[in-house]
């Protein structure tokens, strides 16, 4: 698995393989990119890092507690760190990241991209559901989570755990990298055409698609929030508690949700008032189906839809909520949303338009799509907490 060193040879191979197509690289192309040196690390990448259209990025051995967030733009990250670093945390045997503090962690993976490929990063779903705000910066970068074509160098992960203190360890993956070529975005007209052939939203048990003339398409596909549940005493949301013990992110299916979360039952008139600067886990009204040739990104902030941020984790893999082309059990899985209102209390009602899915295309269908075959955690979820908690 030794990477090649000649960048010109790498670029030539990519042009031949990708044939100037537009879209995101699937798992096979990402693995090829690793073998050819586009992504490299002192520590060999392992198979579990390769997802349908992304690569899990691992934490390095040190975390730096810093005074403030920043973008380097005209400098390297290391030069900025000299002015902003307060102290170091050794992650080799695990370290505690305090609630509300800002940390910067060099990632184990580095990049050597050809001029045709862009990169985007985002938190993993389990990270976002813990109210962990993570984003990547690069040398001379002027935007978070964006990797410019031809970038060569390190990546650094900024982390703010806003609800809980957490324990992390070197090698843990909290975010992901996607690589793409050209313009993968689906216009509204293209998205509508795709929807007619392969509906993305389903009602109830997933056996009936939402008719195309009833969906809202404007820069993507809008979905609503479910505050009704199916029974009178259903839990329709979780609210993060303000005081809790440390969450060790190496422990899966370990913690009692009651120690960290306040369940919220169905309210009168199926309404809920969200309190400013509190963190909520909620679920979509519709079931979402991402067909294997597409992926979707949930837009994090919609200022015209209210003073709240919805969804930290960035995207839905090809195959999310897809149960086969002719599934008898129905299609779709509810989308879990991480919600933090700002400034003022904000009332939401059952079915209210809540967030937007931007759809993009994959260059080729991945060899492994999201789902039970690759042990995906959230393929059949309803209202679900992060994987670190036991099922309520």
pLDDT digits (tens, 9 = 90+) for 160-178: 999 999 999 999 999 999 9
**pLDDT tens by residue, 225-243:** 999 988 888 899 999 998 8
Give dist(CA 58, CA 56) in Å, integer: 7
**pLDDT tens by residue, 114-129:** 999 999 999 998 998 9
Look at 136-150, 202-216, 318-332 and tell me which has the smallest mean pLDDT. 318-332
Identify the residue with better confidence: 205 or 310.
205
Predicted pLDDT at 212:
95
* Distance set, CA 258 to CA 106, 294, 385, 392 (Å): 34, 37, 11, 8
Element spanning 128, H or E: helix 125-128
**pLDDT tens by residue, 286-337:** 999 999 999 999 886 555 555 566 656 668 999 999 988 666 678 899 999 9
Q: What is the largest CA-CA distance in the chain?
A: 65
pTM of the model: 0.91
Give dist(CA 383, CA 285) in Å, integer: 11
**pLDDT tens by residue, 332-364:** 999 999 998 888 899 999 999 888 899 999 999
The CATH number of 188-374 is 2.70.40.10
Directed axis angle between helix 27-35 and helix 7-18, to 10°? 160
Q: Where are the domains of the chain?
A: 7-181, 188-374
Give dist(CA 381, CA 185) in Å, integer: 27
* pLDDT > 90 in the chain, percent: 72
**pLDDT tens by residue, 274-289:** 999 999 999 999 999 9
Do 7-181 and 188-374 fold alike per CATH?
yes
* Distance set, CA 34 to CA 53, 362, 369 (Å): 14, 18, 20
Residue 169 Rama label (left phi>0; alpha psi -120 to 50; beta): beta
The CATH number of 7-181 is 2.70.40.10
Give dist(CA 272, CA 267) in Å, integer: 7
């Amino acid at each position: 698995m030794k990477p090649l060193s000649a960048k010109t040879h790498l670029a030539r191979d990519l042009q031949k393989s990708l044939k100037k197509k537009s879209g995101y690289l699937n798992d096979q192309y990402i693995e090829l990119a690793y073998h050819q040196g586009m992504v490299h690390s002192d520590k060999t990448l392992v198979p579990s890092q390769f997802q349908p259209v992304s690569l899990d990025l691992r934490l390095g051995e040190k975390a730096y507690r810093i005074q403030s967030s920043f973008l380097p733009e005209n400098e390297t990250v290391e030069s900025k760190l000299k002015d902003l670093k307060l102290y170091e945390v050794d992650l080799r045997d695990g370290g505690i990241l305090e609630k509300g503090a800002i940390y910067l962690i060099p990632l184990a993976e580095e990049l050597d991209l050809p001029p045709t490929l862009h990169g985007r990063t985002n938190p993993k779903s389990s990270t976002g559901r813990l109210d962990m705000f993570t984003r990547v910066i690069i040398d001379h970068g002027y935007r978070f989570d964006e990797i410019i074509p031809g970038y060569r160098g390190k990546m650094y992960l900024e982390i703010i755990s806003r609800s809980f203190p957490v324990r992390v360890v070197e090698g843990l993956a909290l975010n992901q990298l996607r690589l793409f070529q050209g313009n993968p975005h689906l216009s509204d007209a293209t998205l509508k055409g795709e929807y007619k052939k392969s509906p993305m939203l389903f009602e109830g048990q997933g056996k009936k698609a939402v008719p195309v003339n009833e969906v809202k398409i404007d820069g993507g596909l809008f979905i609503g929030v479910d505050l009704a549940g199916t029974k009178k005493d259903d839990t329709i949301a979780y609210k993060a508690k303000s005081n809790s013990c440390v969450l060790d992110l190496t422990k899966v299916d370990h913690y009692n949700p009651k120690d960290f979360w306040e369940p919220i039952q169905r309210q009168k008139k199926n309404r809920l008032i969200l309190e400013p600067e509190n963190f909520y886990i909620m679920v979509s009204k519709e079931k979402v189906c991402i067909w294997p040739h597409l992926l979707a990104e949930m837009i994090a902030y919609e200022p015209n839809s209210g003073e709240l941020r919805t969804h930290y984790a960035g995207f839905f893999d090809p195959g999310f909520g897809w149960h086969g082309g002719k599934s008898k059990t129905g299609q779709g899985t509810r989308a879990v949303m991480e919600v933090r209102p700002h400034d003022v209390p904000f009332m939401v009602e059952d079915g209210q338009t809540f967030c937007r899915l931007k759809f993009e295309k994959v260059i080729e269908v991945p060899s492994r799509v999201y789902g039970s075959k690759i042990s995906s955690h959230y393929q059949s979820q309803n209202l679900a907490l992060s994987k670190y908690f036991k099922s309520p």
